[in-house]
Structure 1
């Protein structure tokens, strides 16, 4: 089984100012904006008259260039234009559009006012956009009504009042853009949360696998090594009978290791194992027959509870064999309405203890397993009763 850690999500850099998100929005192609702007400029260059190098023609040409620049600037990303600069640029564009209405004799001088007003609604906040669009309508209507300049006399002043109307379309587009970006941000946040959750799940699973590997390898190999060392020591004495006995125990531990490996595979695959039968088989394979005592009504328990209780029992039995060889072991399994208690108690050693230092991971593994199930575990010497001087491990699992 292979686990792949998810790549942590990269945080998107914050926009330079509120509302100026550099990320593209689906359904809004900047090429369309550029195409419309260039089309308005091209139509104006063909139809707006007079244009020349002197007098009225020069004034029309200069205003036409200013209007074209103001219109084409709407293609600049918001992230590159501070709010104050955008307000100044759009305000000057509206003034230039109204002036072009008053100076040009013919042509599509009014188109610039319409398009700039529409972009005002898209680029600015609602309050500023409406105020600036109202100013555009009043300026253009005033220029046409009072004939401020030699403008086209055929254009009615009412037309000037309508130049600010496209601001509504711009506001609607801006609202849609913000809604889409909010949805994208929410989706990105959900994706980052899902990745973090997946990473946590992977790390938790790695911890579980590490505990299982420790239980199988460290315990089994330690027992086999202890028997082999004993056999080496007995060879020097010439007591072949005890050598055979130690060798047989080593073979038995190898077989037990294979069983433990099978249990580990079951645990990783989350196969269901019967708690009482598996616990009894484990205790008997460790050489302790009729050592399991059951109190209460046996019932089926979740696979996770079974696996963790078996691992705790395995750890306790291995420690008993290592630190109290020859001592009797008793296993109590108690079922109540609200909990399951596993108690493993061993008496003091009756044979010499082989010196060795434990890794300390066993008790840590027990605590981690019980914590995952919301239970408690305790381990310590037995200070009273017939097992006084021995050791006891007790795990209580709710449910």
Structure 2
């Protein structure tokens, strides 16, 4: 047989630490003490002893009053548990040490000058000295234990407060580090992306003015408009990363919705066939924004990886779900190598998952690509 470990040795039933058990156990012990001591006493002495035991139910709320209610029974009969518990409660639940000393002194005097007074004649002898020491110890013991319990409780509260303070400081430090990192990312985005997009916009504007070809002018104008829109969105994104928002008085651009999809398709510069029937609606804003971003990412990928391919954008509804499907055929020519982070589809899948939907993407048998999202309302 293997010996039990420390956890097994110290394990106790849950009911032994329940509030009702801790409240009623001293009452039961005081009742037994009163019954044993006052069984041969007059009826009024038995009643005072029973009152002392029952008064312990109120010891946490009115400890001084409970002590006063236990003193008559202690004076007339030799009950100890009720007044000792009351002295402990005064020390544990009253913050003034002077009140504890006064209550313990009163209890010691009641025990020393016990009824009948003739049993303890006042005399400077050894018996009275020993009895006085006994009464003092009987009062000082529970008072000291109560003060110790109250001090332990105050230390536990102080430790809990210090722990919460450390956690709060750690959280503030973490937030400060995050703000610093976000500011660094904002600077990098502004210095790199904004510079490159600005150059694209400038070159497109110059091409729009100098080119005699109408098709080239339209293409340059589209590039310039997309560049300006990208710079505006980048400005707002940098403001969010800096945790300072945008300048006061400058309105934020409205977030894209389903109603903005026709404009997005028309300005992408790709041959797109659309089937747009989202149902009666309205759809939640997060769902419409996710649908817009899904079509936007699909058009961007098709332009990079399948130039000249035919595209079909379908937006419909199936009960409480919004269906978004973007399909492109095989590329008409070999795509130019363009850098890509590979995070677009991952971000779209995360958007759909957060909304409780699904997103699938993969090649089709004819060499094209299909992106399909189901977004629940």
TM-score bracket relative to the smaller structure: 0.3 to 0.5
Name which structure has the greater RCO, CA cutoff 8 Å, separation 6+.
1
- TM-score, reference length from structure 2: 0.46
- TM-score, reference length from structure 1: 0.44
